[in-house]
């Protein structure tokens, strides 16, 4: 974990021009040291895995591979015409931070909860997008191009920014009716943001097990599948 954090920190520091000019060579050597460590680790994981191909195709296997790939690819792209590509590859090394998830015990529980919630979250996202289209079109009709809402896609962009409570301020309604509609969208935004949080939280309470019975009184999860009452407090399930 310390090595992963240090490697990500080195990439970030290397992006600062003053530090790169003063310590670029040291950071380059340090990067190759990190790459060597992660390469050895990746090779050992492949050797020790009962199914190397399954590991290589898994999420953490792909992360481990991507953590070493950019450094080697940068060697294969010499020449000034590829400097921008090399810069992108260097920045991609920051994704090594994803390797930290493998060392966090609760990461699996969180991943299972998100996976079990994927259908509900998918329906929620589709509903929000449909709402954004309707509300964005409404704002386009109300405000018009003279007030900055020059097209329906731009109005939908403004609606999404408003619903998510980001509010860049690059476009703003001017007419009283438009401001009223914007106020409604803002209030909807507060209610909408809480929905995905509640969906994932319920799955976390269930311990990542789909269909698990949760006591509404004491939130106990470990019940038999045919239980009708909570075994701790007696509340009907």
Domain boundaries, the chain: 2-104, 115-205
Task: Confirm if 207 and 221 have CB atoms less than 8 A apart.
Answer: yes
- For residue 119, the surrounding DSSP H or E stretch is helix 118-143
Domain range 115-205, CATH architecture? Orthogonal Bundle (1.10)
pLDDT at 173: 93
Q: Give the pLDDT confidence score for residue 81 in this predicted structure.
A: 41
Q: Which CATH superfamily is domain 2-104 in?
A: Voltage-gated potassium channels. Chain C (1.20.120.350)
Structure tokens at 160: 């999404």
117 CB-contact burial (10 Å; exposed 0-12 / middle 13-18 / buried 19+): buried
Burial grade of 168 (CB within 10 A; 0-12, 13-18, 19 or more): exposed
Overall pTM surpassing 0.85 (yes/no) = no
CB-based burial, 72-86: b 16+ in 10 Å, e otherwise: eebeeeeeeeeeeeb
Q: Which of 55, 68, 48, 61 is nearest to 4 (CA)?
A: 68
Report the pLDDT value the prediction gives residue 94, as an integer from 0 to 100. Answer: 76
pLDDT tens per residue, the chain (237 residues)?
A: 888 888 888 888 888 889 989 998 998 899 899 989 999 999 999 999 999 999 899 888 888 888 888 888 877 766 544 444 555 665 676 777 777 776 766 666 777 778 888 888 888 899 899 999 999 999 999 998 889 999 999 999 999 999 988 888 888 999 999 999 999 999 988 888 788 888 877 777 765 555 556 676 666 766 776 788 888 788 888
Distances (CA, A) of 20 to 35, 36, 100: 19, 21, 26
What does residue 229 show for φ and ψ, rounded to 5 degrees? -130, 150
Question: Using N-to-C axis directions, what is the helix angle for 152-163 and 118-143, rounded to 10°?
Answer: 120
Examine domains 2-104 and 115-205 and report if their fold is the same. no
Place of tokens 């520091």: 13
pLDDT of residue 87: 53
């Amino acid at each position: 974990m310390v090595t992963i954090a240090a490697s990500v920190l080195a990439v970030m520091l290397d992006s600062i021009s003053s530090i790169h000019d003063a310590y670029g060579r040291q950071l380059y050597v340090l990067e190759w040291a990190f790459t060597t460590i992660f390469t050895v680790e990746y090779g050992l994981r492949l050797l020790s895995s009962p199914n190397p191909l399954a590991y290589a195709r898994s999420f953490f296997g792909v992360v481990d591979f991507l953590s070493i790939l950019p450094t080697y690819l940068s060697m294969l792209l010499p020449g000034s015409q590829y400097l921008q590509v090399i810069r992108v590859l260097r920045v991609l090394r920051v994704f090594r931070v994803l390797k930290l998830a493998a060392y966090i015990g609760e990461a699996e529980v969180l991943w299972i909860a998100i996976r079990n919630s994927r259908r509900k979250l998918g329906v929620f996202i589709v509903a929000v997008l449909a709402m954004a289209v309707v509300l964005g079109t409404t704002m386009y009709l109300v405000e018009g191009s003279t007030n900055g809402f020059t097209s329906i896609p731009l109005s939908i962009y403004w609606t999404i920014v408003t619903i998510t409570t980001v509010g860049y301020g690059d476009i703003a309604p001017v007419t009283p009716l438009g401001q009223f509609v914007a106020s409604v969208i803002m209030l909807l935004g507060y209610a909408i943001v809480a929905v995905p949080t509640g969906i994932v939280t319920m799955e976390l309470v269930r311990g990542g097990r789909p269909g698990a019975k949760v006591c509404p009184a004491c939130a106990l999860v470990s019940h038999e599948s045919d239980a009708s009452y909570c075994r701790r407090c007696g509340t009907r399930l």
